Amino acid sequence: MTASCIFCRIVTRESAAEIEYEDEEVLAFKDIYPKAPVHLLIIPKRHIESLAVLEADDAALLGKCLFVARKLGEAHGVAQRGYRVNCHSGPEGGQVVYHLHFHFLAGRRGS
């Protein structure tokens, strides 16, 4: 938990978010500025800044995040039509929030 991190604050409910999925290790909630009809963020609850500082032991946790993407695709009825999962890393990767997250985008072609 990093007090200044907006996504850590969502995990602890100090900041509000529309949460769609939660388990012990992973949280998924709506992006506040959606860029597609369905735009969710999937995060590990544990604060990891970005892919650039990922440790080997973190790999399974990111696999769980991707498995949550599968569940969200099914829950939103887009498993067959498809969806996009993005992860931005670092300034030139377009990362703005430095708590690792996957964007889940669906609902239009090329989401």
Shortest distance, CB of residue 80 to ligand 5GP, whole angstroms? 25
Closest CA to 81 of 40, 110, 41: 110
Site string for ligand 5GP, 60-99 (x = CB under 6 A): ----------------------------x-----xxxx--
- 91-107 in b/e form (b: 16+ CB < 10 A) is eeeebeebbbbbbbbbe
Q: Which residues bind ligand 5GP (CB under 6 A)?
A: 6, 17, 29-33, 41, 88, 94-97
Q: Which residues bind Zn ion (CB under 5 A)?
A: 2, 5, 7-8, 47, 99
